[in-house]
Amino acid sequence: MPTLADVAQAMQAVQNQWGAYIPAHLKNYKADQITILANEQQWGTAFRFIYDVVFKPANQFNQEAGDFIDGVLGFVTPTFSHTKRKIYISPKVQGYTRAQQLMVLSHEYIHWLSHESFYPSYYMVGGHHPFQVEGATQWLTVACGYQLEFQTLPAYLSEYLKTNAWISADKGNLPRLLAYLFNGVRTDLSSIHP
């Protein structure tokens, strides 16, 4: 299982890559303030609640939480206030390499850093929005130095590839995405879709 020191390392990787775009006050939070390295009971309770309230309706899933719980390695509570947001990490993550764990931790940290108009608000609209949020988050995660880990744990592959194509299509797209994700300056993401 990763430690809080691992979480801090993953947070630092994100700040090293994207720190210029992250609001300064969010960089002051420490790993132990925002992360729950969950045991099985904590994970099951939290995941089932968040799945039923957010993930299932936004993604229009027909399945129940139990059908997904083993395949999800982390999530961020969809609260608007960063002071109340928490990163939950599944105990299942311990079955992955340390480098893969760090990638998962960085991905979830980017969700945690996201402006509330991006996550959870934009995500919860549903339709293609969850695809776009996960693609953008994964693209930013991989850019933090996780290219090799992404090849061995290709979560959100389609989302990543579509986001990569969108970013590559216009040199202004990445700055617009960063402004939206970290600071809430809306941009049109409609061309990123399955």
Q: Which helix (H) or strand (E) holds 187?
A: none
Burial 46-66 (b: 16+ CB within 10 A, else e): bbeebbeebbbebbeeeeebe
**Selection from 174, 94, 92 nearest residue 135 by Cα:** 174
- Per the structure, the complete domain to which residue 162 belongs is given by 4-183
Tell whether the model's pLDDT for residue 24 goes beyond 90: yes
119 vs 122: CA distance, rounded Å: 6
Q: Is residue 190 in a domain? A: no
Assess if residue 168 is contained within a domain: yes
pLDDT digits (tens, 9 = 90+) for 39-81: 999 999 999 999 999 999 999 999 999 998 889 999 999 999 9
Is residue 61, in this structure, part of any structural domain at all? yes
pLDDT value, residue 180: 99
Q: What is the pLDDT of residue 145?
A: 97
Tell me, yes or no, whether 130 lies in a domain: yes
Convert the pLDDT of each residue in 77-109 to its tens digit.
999 999 999 999 999 999 999 999 999 999 999
Helix H or strand E segment including 124:
helix 123-124
DSSP 144: T
Q: Rounded mean pLDDT of the chain?
A: 97
- Bridge partners of 87, per DSSP, are 35, 76
Do you find a cis peptide bond into 120, omega within 30 degrees of 0? yes
- CA torsion through residues 143, 180, 71, 45, sign: positive
Dump pLDDT digits (tens) for 138-163. 999 999 999 999 999 889 999 999 99
Residue 39 lies in a domain: yes
